[in-house]
Amino acid sequence: MMSGSLSGEKVETMGIRKGTSAPLFLRRFHYCVLAVALLAAAGILPRVFAEPAKKKTLGLAISAWRTALYETPDGKEECPEGLTLGGDQVWLSLLTPEQRDKVTKHGTVETTQLRDFALERGPHGEDVCWNPTVVKDPPQKTVQGKKSYGLNLDGTDDGHATSETCGHEKFVTPDGVRGIDNQWYRVIGCTYGWRAAGGYTEEMPNGELRDGGHPILVEITGIDDLRNSKNVDIAFYHSTDGMIKDNAGNILPNSSYRVAKDYLYTTHGSIVDSVLTSVPIDIHFPFYAHFMHSERFIKNARLRLDIASDGKSASGLVAGYYDLDSFWSYMERIGELFTVAHFDCPALYEAVHRLADGYPDPKTGQCTAMSVGFSVTAVSGYVIHPDAKTAQAAGPADQVR
């Protein structure tokens, strides 16, 4: 509401014309305004009083993406029944000794051949990863422990069924936060291929990222302060540029990433005590692994990222509901990895549907998605938009880097 100039006559403040007989407190106010203006002009006042602070931007490139697994060294706490068997082991275990001896030619058949036998064992030779319901295998071993990483996604304390969820058990985080939803962990937490020791299924895409893969980008704009910012805008992009690693294989910060066309998800959120939290939205997260482009469709996906004080890295969770169709379209294509990742497609398919806890089908009541928490790490990076013809140096006032 202040306008005019210090040198002209038509100086108005708070709508009161100069020279009129204003009350004493208003005249004092005039003096204060004048003093503040003079100090600002002289550069004496801190910049924040002289002009509004510029909003900052933080670009992040997700450099690793793993299922948030709570694992103990011997696995007995979470998997007291042991780990799941691979499809080949399950199949062999179902054979009589005579049948087993016959198909293995007295133990001389190579693993690759056994893999084919175990994979194409439907009644009519169907591939049991593409057709996981044509045979019925013993149930998959699932997590029995009470601890897990993740977030409370359904808002309940006990996981009871709601109009948007199916009933399920809750977890508690290792540091005591209750009400955690992570049915995805419950399903694959006892499967070698997802655990740290095996890790094949998830290390492969992470390895591809480290070897120049194209990361998912998170651009946070409207930041007042890296530690606390009430309202920020968040955009998810997919890069067309690869990540750069150092000699030790670590992804380096401050690389530049051009954004791919036709990929953009936007939401908003806040930063509180250096933790970014986003408002949930549905996101298709692309990734490349096993020589294929794939995606994870996460419904109601949200971020919870701890941002390093220097803004050069962040880590935390991507949580939401993993769409089962999206999951299985990936699994059916990597089905043949069961011999190294030790999963059994029919049992896994049955487990994910039995334990799914989100997005019930209105007709059948069967949940079509599964609560999940992914552990992600990210490094800072410059997000280059298509209209950026030339780059200007971004000073610290513009970019958090």
Binding residues for other proteins, rule: CB under 8 A, are 241, 244-248, 250, 252-258, 382, 384, 388-395, 401
The nearer residue to other proteins, 217 or 356, going by C-beta atoms, is 217
Of 219, 225, 226, which Cα lies nearest the Cα of 266?
219
Of the two residues 241 and 344, which places its CB atom closer to other proteins in the complex? 241
Please say which residue, 259 or 351, places its beta carbon nearer to other proteins. Answer: 259
Nearer to other proteins, 12 or 398 (CB): 398
Minimal distance, residue 108 CB to other proteins, in Å: 47
Q: What whole-number distance in Å separates Cα of residue 313 and Cα of residue 377?
A: 7
Please identify, using beta-carbon distances, which residue of 260 and 281 lies nearer to other proteins.
Answer: 260
- Phi, psi angles (nearest 5°) of residue 303: -105, 145
Of 42 and 248, which has the nearer Cβ to other proteins? 248
Residues in a beta bridge with 236: 218, 265
What are the strands, taking DSSP E only, across 145-208?
Answer: none
- Is the four-CA dihedral 258, 263, 269, 272 of positive or negative sign? negative
Contacts of 318 by beta carbon, 8 Å cutoff, 6+ apart: 65, 285, 298, 301, 302, 303, 373, 374, 376
Residue with tokens 């990895």: 337
Q: Where are the alpha helices (DSSP H) in 77-145?
A: 87-94, 97-103, 111-119
Give the nearest distance from C-beta 213 to other proteins in angstroms: 14
List, in order, residues 6 or more apart from 101 with CB less than 8 Å away: 107
- Measured CA distances, 264 to 2, 4, 12, 259, 302 (Å): 41, 44, 47, 9, 15
Task: Of 307, 230, 248, give the one whose Cα is nearest residue 275.
Answer: 307
Shortest spacing between CB 397 and other proteins, in angstroms: 10
Query: Rounded to the nearest whole angstrom, what is the least distance from the CB of residue 10 to other proteins in the complex?
Result: 36
Residue number with CB closer to other proteins (231 or 240): 240
Provide, rounded to whole angstroms, the least separation between the CB of residue 254 and other proteins. Answer: 5
Of the pair 279, 394, the CB lying nearest other proteins is at 394
In sequence order, the β-bridge partners of residue 318 are 303, 374
Query: Tokens in use for 266?
Result: 């936007």
The CB-of-399 to other proteins minimum distance in angstroms stands at 8
Phi, psi of 339 (to 5 degrees): -70, -30
Q: Closest separation between CB of residue 383 and other proteins, Å?
A: 8
Cβ at position 248, least distance to other proteins in Å: 7
